[in-house]
């Protein structure tokens, strides 16, 4: 209940500040009682509608965007190559060396295509394992 009252007071102060700062918004009667009633109405609507919206929209957002973003970010994080190459080229004594950069060095600097292919295959397996784990973790029982 104290959380609702705190939100109610904050809404009242914010509404009063909006009326005072923004041009074109005017109160018909200049008393705090109308602002407090308006804040109470906003608080009740917020308290009743927000949980309903969260219950309806959050699972849909996770199903449509969440899984794709999670899998894509995991793959892109493993495949990060350009920042390391541009900024540090592996850093001092290889401290910022990543698997993708190591694969690049093996293939195009040392001309060892077998090692580069092995690194890339291992990286593909790691991304596949993480992606399958994310599918199971988010309980995605759907198809795109």
- Average pLDDT score over residue span 28-52: 77
Q: Which residue has tokens 């599918």?
A: 135
Q: Which two tokens stand for residue 118?
A: 């092995």
pLDDT at 139: 65
Residue 64 lies inside a defined structural domain of this protein:
no
Residue 63 lies inside a defined structural domain of this protein:
no
Residue 61 lies inside a defined structural domain of this protein:
no
- Pick from 53-57, 82-86, 100-104: least confident: 53-57
pLDDT at 63: 66
- Pick from 43-57, 96-110, 117-131: least confident: 43-57
The answer, yes or no, to whether residue 36 has pLDDT greater than 80, is: no
The answer, yes or no, to whether residue 118 has pLDDT greater than 90, is: yes
Percent of the chain having pLDDT more than 90?
9
pLDDT at 110: 92
Chain-wide mean pLDDT for the chain?
78
* Segments forming the whole domain that contains residue 50: 1-55
Nearest in space to 94 (alpha carbons), one of 102, 106, 86, 104 = 102
pLDDT at 50: 78
Residues 135 and 88 in one domain: yes
pLDDT at 140: 57
The total number of structural domains in the chain stands at 2
The answer, yes or no, to whether residue 119 has pLDDT greater than 80, is: yes
Angular region, 25: left φ>0, alpha ψ -120 to 50, beta rest: beta
Residues 83 and 142 in one domain: yes
């Amino acid at each position: 209940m104290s959380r609702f009252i705190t939100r109610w007071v904050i809404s009242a102060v914010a509404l009063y500040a909006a009326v005072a700062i923004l041009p074109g918004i005017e109160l018909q009667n200049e008393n705090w009682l109308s602002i407090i009633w308006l804040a109470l109405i906003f608080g009740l609507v917020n308290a009743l509608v927000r949980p309903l919206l969260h219950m309806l929209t959050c699972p849909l957002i996770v199903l449509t965007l969440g899984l794709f973003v999670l899998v894509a970010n995991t793959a892109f994080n493993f495949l990060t190559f350009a920042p390391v190459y541009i900024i540090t080229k592996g850093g001092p004594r290889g401290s910022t060396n990543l698997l993708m950069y190591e694969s690049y060095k093996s293939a195009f600097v040392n001309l060892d295509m077998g090692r580069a292919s092995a690194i890339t295959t291992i990286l593909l397996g790691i991304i596949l394992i993480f992606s399958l784990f994310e599918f199971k973790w988010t309980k995605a029982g759907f198809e795109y």
